[in-house]
Amino acid sequence: MSEAAPEILYSERWTIRGGDFDHGGEVAAAVKVILRQFGLPATEIRRLSIANFEAEMNVVMHADEGELLLEVLPDRARITLADRGRGIPDLGLAMQEGWSTATPEMRQRGFGAGLGLPNIRKNSDEFAIESTVGSGTTLRYAVRFAI
Amino acid sequence: MDPDSHSIRFDPARCIGCVACSQACPTRAIRVRDGLAVLRPELCIDCGACAEACRYDAVLTRTSGAADLQRFRHTVAIPSMTLYGQFGRDVHPAQVLHALTRVGFDSAYDMSWMCEMLAQATDARLTDDRGPWPKISVTCPAIVRLVQIRYPELLPNILPLESARELAAKMLRRRIAAERNLAPTEIGIFFITPCTAIMNSILHPVGLDESHIDGAFGINEIYGPVLKAIKQDGGMDPDARFSPSGLLWAMAGGEIAGMRNANTMAVHGIRDVQFVFDRLEAGKFQSVDFIEAYICPDGCVSGGLTVEGRYTAGRAIQKVARRVGAQPPSIREEQVRTLLREHFFDLEEEIAARPIRPATHDLRQAIAWKREHAGLLDRLPRRDCAACGAPDCTTLAEDVLRGETTLDDCVFLRIDRLEGRVAPEGGN
């Protein structure tokens, strides 16, 4: 039995540039504004915003470029964030809290507590990560909301 | 919501329909219609940015009048500490309190001691309160309203302790009633306010059913008479005791400076507040315990109803705090602990969200509107000139969607049409 493809009600894409600390966080903010316009529940918006901010800053700090795709479905908001970059050699390690490769400069800006990926997983209802060393990382996560 | 529920309104005789106020408004609550500024009350946070921006003195602020004083057997003035910084560095706050009794109030009381008590209560609450972190102070009512409207997700971060001015009024009413053998309702407590936001918080309190304060006068309204009384008389209130750390609450950073907990931040000015609150919503700053936030750039000394410039006022307040510093400490920790146990400091009610226009609860409908909005915005020049009466193109597109106006308001589109570059506009 094949499941019908879930209906995508809305989608929008943003490009995130690696090293662009000046604009870091703006995509997460833009997504938040949109979800609020859609009248989604505050708790879910907050969770997805936390995940988006972490994911966006990961691209800013570690990758060359990334593309964030927001898809709103009838029962969830889904994010796909694919980046071009060096990839993550040991996903198991990266998913551990406190593990970080952040440079001193990043830490000075308040990042690099190493909570990025676990924090994204904690704040989403679906989470998947694929990474190829030398080519990049793709994150897929979603928050579900009651309708 | 009733426009009268706000403490600002526009004077049609003075308003020339320029868009300075509309563009200054942080919540985009003002439109210019038929050459006059109009308030969208559901968006207004009473911050006073419009009054500050208006070059024609057309923003009127609603405060109490002399008739309000007549309603009570005994009238009390409680000045914002900001008032002490309005008369230069050599006027003692006890002189200011005395002067207030010469200009129409039966008595006047200081509230800096309550600020010091509240700082201790805040420290105590932070050690046993639960997240989410950081907690946000309710001292600035415009901040509370901004959270209600723009940042409803942050409502659980608001520390549920009442503001020092409300607490001072609550305590003083009990004390004065007992001392003077009056019924509590016979006492009229009036706050001398640096801003419209506090005025409105008295008329329409948030987090408590009814304000403990009966009315407010702007510092700018009583400044002249008080200055005159200080010069003519110069007497001091012999009983007044001031808290040096409490006095500093007139300035940004004063609230956290008096706390034991040093894991705090002071954020001031609407732009910085929005910067920080946007990040709070994204889960940042969770390691901070407490945020003191003011909508005005330097806290209350920069309030819209003050007379003295904020730098001069701030300098005067610091001198005043030094001068009273020699007094013996009057706040007993034991007393604060007792009041904490009695829940004296607690907000009475939960603060509700007032989110902007939940246009629809239907997701598909909301998405359709969003697409329509993007389509409208595509046709607009995006110069944000505000000549249409809305502060920017995005807001005009929203107003068109709501059916309040049409794209004909846009002067650029009208010029294009006159010059035959686009087809005549039909509906929107």
Which residue of A38, A42, A123 is in closest CB contact with B366? A38
Residues in chain A: 147
- Report residue A144: phi and psi, to 5°: -95, 150
B134: preceding bond cis by omega (within 30 degrees): yes
Considering A107-121, B22-36, B70-84, B350-364, the range whose residues carry the highest mean pLDDT is B70-84
Q: Is the dihedral of CA B115, B116, B122, B128 positive or negative?
A: negative
Q: Mind listing the pLDDT tens digit for each residue in B381-408? A: 999 999 999 999 999 999 999 899 999 9
Residue B138: closest CA among B294, B286, B267, B32: B294
* Rounded Cα–Cα distance for residues B246 and B116 (Å): 5
What is d(CA A58, CA A79) in angstroms, rounded to the nearest whole number? 14
Give dist(CA A61, CA A94) in Å, integer: 15
Of the two residues B278 and B229, the one the predictor is more confident about is B229
* Sign of the CA dihedral with B87 first, then B91, B94, and B99 last: negative
Q: What topology is assigned to A10-144 in CATH?
A: Heat Shock Protein 90 (3.30.565)
The string over B133-162, giving b where at least 16 C-beta atoms fall within 10 Å of a residue's C-beta and e elsewhere, is: bbbbbbbbbbbbbbbbbbbbbbbbbbbbbb
- What residues does CATH 1.10.15.40 cover in chain B? 366-418
3-state secondary structure A111-144: CCCCCHHHHHHHCCCEEEEEEECCCEEEEEEEEE
Calculate the alpha carbon distances from A41 to B144, B207, B289, B299, B356 in Å.
20, 23, 26, 33, 14
Q: Does the pLDDT value for residue A140 go beyond 50?
A: yes
Give the three-class secondary structure for B238. Answer: coil
Report the gap between the CA of B361 and the closest CA in chain A (Å): 6
Adjacent-strand bridge partners of B218: B193
Mutate to test the interface with A, among B147, B153, B274, B351 (most CBs of A within 10 A): B153
pLDDT at B428: 47
Per-residue pLDDT, averaged over B248-263, amounts to 95
| Residue A112 contacts residue A106 (beta carbons within 8 Å) | yes
Nearest by CB to residue B282, choosing from A9, A25, A40, is A25
Tell me which residue in A29, A40, A52 faces B278 most closely, judged by beta carbons.
Answer: A29
Could you tell me the pTM of the whole model? 0.83
Distance CA B92, CA B321 (A): 10
CB B2 within 8 A of CB B41: yes
Interface of A with B in 51-70 (CB under 8 A): 52-54
- Look at residue B284 in the predicted model and tell me its pLDDT: 81
* Residue B111: predicted pLDDT: 97
Q: Where are any strands of DSSP class E within B138-194?
A: 187-193
Tens digit of each residue's pLDDT (9 = 90 or more) over B13-72: 999 999 999 999 988 999 999 999 999 988 899 998 899 899 999 999 888 888 899 999
- Domain extent listing, chain A: 10-144
* ipTM value greater than 0.90: no
Instruction: Give per-residue pLDDT as tens, B282-323.
Output: 778 888 999 999 999 999 999 999 999 999 999 999 999 998
Does the structure show a pLDDT above 70 at A104? no
Q: Does A135 touch chain B (CB under 8 A)?
A: no
Sorting pLDDT into bands at 50, 70 and 90, what band is B356? low
| Whether pLDDT at B3 is above 60 | no
Give the domain B66-341 fold: Rossmann fold (3.40.50)
* Upper half-sphere CA count for residue B386 (Cβ side, 13 Å): 16
Residue of A nearest to B287 (CA): A110
Looking at residue B394, its pLDDT comes to: 93
**Concatenated DSSP letters of B295-341:** SSEEEETT-TT-SS-HHHHHHHHHHHHHHHTTSPP---HHHHHHHHH
- Per-residue pLDDT of A44-96, as tens digits, reads 998 999 899 999 999 998 899 999 999 999 999 999 999 999 888 888 787 87
Q: Which CATH superfamily is domain B366-418 in?
A: Electron transport complex subunit B, putative Fe-S cluster (1.10.15.40)
| Lowest-confidence region among B248-262, B305-319, B323-337 | B323-337
Strands B290-294 and B264-268: parallel
Provide the edge-to-edge strand list for the sheet that holds A126-132: A10-17, A63-73, A76-85, A136-144, A126-132
CATH top-level class of B3-61: alpha beta
Q: What are phi and psi of B231, to 5 degrees?
A: -70, -40
CA distance linking residue A1 with residue B306, whole number of Å: 73
User: In the predicted model, is pLDDT for residue A117 greater than 60?
Assistant: yes
